[in-house]
Amino acid sequence: MYRLWLPAALAMLIMASLALGAASLSEDGGWLLMVSRIPRTAAALLAGAGLALAGVVVQQAVQNRLVEPSLTGTPEAAMLGLLVVTLVMPGLAVAGKMLVAAASGLLGMAGFLLLADRVPRQDPMLLPIVGLIYGGIIGAAATWFAWSADLMQYLGIWMLGEFSGVMMGRYEWLWAVAVLAALLYASADRITLLGLGERQARSLGLDYARTRALGLTIVAALTALVLVTVGAFPFVGLVAPNLVSRWRGDNLRANLPLVAVAGGALVLAADVIGRLIRYPFEIPAATVFAVFGAAVFLWLLHAAPRRSHG
């Protein structure tokens, strides 16, 4: 059944996104679509898909369904790296900024993994709470640095994900999400083994360290791509994988395309809702999604203990 209604729902969202806007399509609508609305719609779909896939990898790497990139300190560490490079090399090209953001995000995630190895696994709620605290500490350091260097405006742009500034020529880096998604799909079986834990994965012949490093490098790259292009979006990597898993089970190879579609559709829906609430003004898509994502996160937190003891 989902093969019928899922494409239909996605098509309706895309049509709504293309039709919505303060400017009318009646005059020179083709130019407006090509320059603004098609890039905006594509950016929302690609950003959501990338963050949803990143969430799958993180959850497998730490064996916890309640964790996602925004709960590992990765975006905050990437922002801190961007602040440093903006101050030291303000003229650096976008590609260079993304590399710096990915590298600093990977360092931030490495710190989270060190903490994760020391957190008891009996209570699944403990690790995401540790991640929240860890990310908050890095975020506070980034805020202090931005305030000291008079870069609070830059930090605000990166922290609040939205698509109003997306136009042709200002989003194309997000197409790299498709390349990274293909790489993840090719590695789906090995990433599945990550979820079994190091001992069992090694007993099945997996190069655990290399596979984990590859997966988390892709997560850092996806996070950096989205952060530099459109800003941070919390909870996407938590909501989409969990909803798909509860709906379709735990076959990762079969679920990855659905996770990508769900992440893209949810972010696009948040963008459309943000444009409708106070039309013709806009509420950032990240704000809309944060409300929905926080509710889902609380629901998952409430359900986790009963699943673990059941």
Q: Is residue 30 part of a domain?
A: no
CA distances from 41 to 56, 119, 237 (A): 23, 40, 19
Domain total for the chain?
1
**Nearest alpha-carbon partner for 169 in 307, 34, 5, 58:** 34
Q: How buried is 273 (Cβ within 10 angstroms: 0-12 exposed, 13-18 middle, 19+ buried)? A: middle
Coil, helix or strand for 17? Answer: helix
Q: Is residue 262 part of a domain?
A: yes
Residue span of the structural domain in which 200 resides: 46-303
Q: What is the mean pLDDT of each run of 10 residues along the chain (310 residues)?
A: 71 86 64 84 93 92 87 91 89 86 91 87 83 92 91 83 82 89 87 83 84 89 90 90 84 86 93 88 90 86 54
**CATH number of 121's domain:** 1.10.3470.10
Q: Is residue 25 part of a domain?
A: no
| pTM score | 0.88
Q: How buried is 275 (Cβ within 10 angstroms: 0-12 exposed, 13-18 middle, 19+ buried)? A: buried
The pLDDT assigned to 49 comes to 93
Q: Is residue 24 part of a domain?
A: no
**Nearest alpha-carbon partner for 250 in 195, 170, 308:** 195
Residue pLDDT, tens place only, 179-225: 999 988 888 888 888 888 888 888 888 888 888 888 889 999 999 89
**Nearest alpha-carbon partner for 171 in 37, 77, 32, 16:** 37
| Percent of the chain as helix, strand, coil, to the nearest 5 | 75, 0, 25
Distance CA 97, CA 86 (A): 8
Q: Is residue 6 part of a domain?
A: no
The pLDDT assigned to 142 comes to 92
